[in-house]
Structure 1
């Protein structure tokens, strides 16, 4: 992304991270629900999605993993703790990195974990610096998602596993819903939102061998209503930062987009070619 775009997105998350983390029970990504009627806590649902993602990484103990778009570091810390790997997390938000670094200090870990500010489209690492790559719900912020995927592929060694989890569309959006989807994407900073097919094509074009496409849309869909309610409950804290009008728009659009059949969420699994 351009320096201006990177700065704007970083600034947005610098501003909203603290109140958003409180509202969303400590994580910065969607949750995974066994069914539409299941009622785990938000924390349990978001941790379940983390499990679905890092469980597919398959990196051996002692490996070195890059977590692109690491947020405040909870998935990276879990990955290090449960899989005994070293992790380097990167985010464009200095505020998120500050929180993540504080977490490393406060939690004893069996391996090395570090966090640094970096642009996913220009990663400050040499080629093949990592044994595996992870990106949980961050590439939708990239105006040039193929470039970000190429960067992830570049810094992972040949044969190393790569797992991407992100929003996608399950099918073409009918004319009557296009404005809704476009407005949702704009309000919620989904800079790049495409159907699953084009996403997988970008994945392979980046130099990654695709081994699995896991459509978890129905499991993630209940998060949209939960997410809207969390934002609504944090209106007093988030309103002065985001703007009350934009915040109310985000709530409305999130609820409406979440019930569309085209709403999607996908986990792409592969290896560096």
Structure 2
């Protein structure tokens, strides 16, 4: 069920949540890669743009670059990130891109053994094994020491986190002093001052999406800002990129309706099929202004 606010203690993670998430991506990642490539996230488009199918992979790369620009991650050889963690890394599309862009060492974590194995194979095939390493791990209990990474990157994984405060706290913990944290995630709309929760029809729509995609409680962009500030993170910025991702879900549905998409979908498994069936609800959520595609960036305070 979607949560109206993070002001209260988070609900316990639903039983089997981690196993469900891992199973969904174990099952669906091969299909996604075969049709869309190795970036398992939205594309970024000019607002109101009519995009052709040929534009979508470029738009996924643009999403990465727009996020880096929004966070003002430096390209300067002396200041660029040298260590990166990709939290919820998928098959490592962002990990490999960031490793190549910055010459950085990149660690990726995912709940899916299939994704980790495939991502490491792709890194090896691209000659990046000495820079990129993916492993199975929980984002709420990262297997890294404090203060290790110059850039902490989470591209569309926050929506799977049952405890958003613990999630951001872990991102902050592993960030190096002065390090940049980038979260790109699905949120629900901010509540009006007169509201104590979302409307019943909004909660029902989100619940149907949650059930298909193994999503726990949602939160709003303002909730993320509050969490970041409570952790004394600095330079907290957020933006609503919902209009910039508007062409994405219609394109995913269109790709699923091709012969390759249909035959691949039917052989991929029930979790993937169920996810495909609720894709129109994502479009509905965006059109209603309920779902907000949000970027939140901040910086860990530098060393004294």
Larger Rg over CA atoms: 2
1:249-271 CA-to-partner distances (Å, cap 9, x unmatched) read 31332332232222211111111
Which one scores higher on RCO, CA 8 angstroms, separation ≥ 6?
A: 2
CA distance in 1, matches of 2:104, 2:175: 15
Moved over 6 A (4+): none
How does 1:189-268 map onto structure 2 within 5 Å?
189-233=214-258, 234-240=261-267, 241-242=269-270, 246-247=274-275, 249-268=277-296
Query: TM-score, normalized by length of structure 2?
Result: 0.81
Cα distance change of structure 1 residues 63 and 2 upon mapping to structure 2, 3 Å threshold: farther
CA distance in 1, matches of 2:238, 2:45: 18
1:39-85 CA-to-partner distances (Å, cap 9, x unmatched) read 15221111111111234362534621111111111111111111222
Q: Does 1:130 align with 2:149?
A: yes
CA distance in 2, matches of 1:216, 1:179: 23
CA distance in 2, matches of 1:45, 1:96: 22
- The residue that corresponds to 1:160 in the other structure is 179
> CA RMSD for the aligned pairs?
2.5
Q: Does 1:53 align with 2:93?
A: no
Q: Is contact 2:188–2:220 with CA below 8 Å preserved after alignment?
A: yes
CA distance in 2, matches of 1:82, 1:243: 34
CA distance in 1, matches of 2:183, 2:18: 20
1:64 pairs, out of 83, 93, 103, with 83
The CA deviation at 1:230 is 3.1
CA distance in 2, matches of 1:243, 1:82: 34
1:173-226 CA-to-partner distances (Å, cap 9, x unmatched) read 544443223212322333232221112212333442243212211101221222
Query: TM-score, normalized by length of structure 1?
Result: 0.89
Extract unaligned runs of 5+ from structure 1: none
- The residue that corresponds to 1:78 in the other structure is 97
Give the 3-state SS of the residue equivalent to 1:128 in structure 2: coil
Extract unaligned runs of 5+ from structure 2: 1-12, 192-197
Cα distance change of structure 1 residues 247 and 151 upon mapping to structure 2, 3 Å threshold: closer
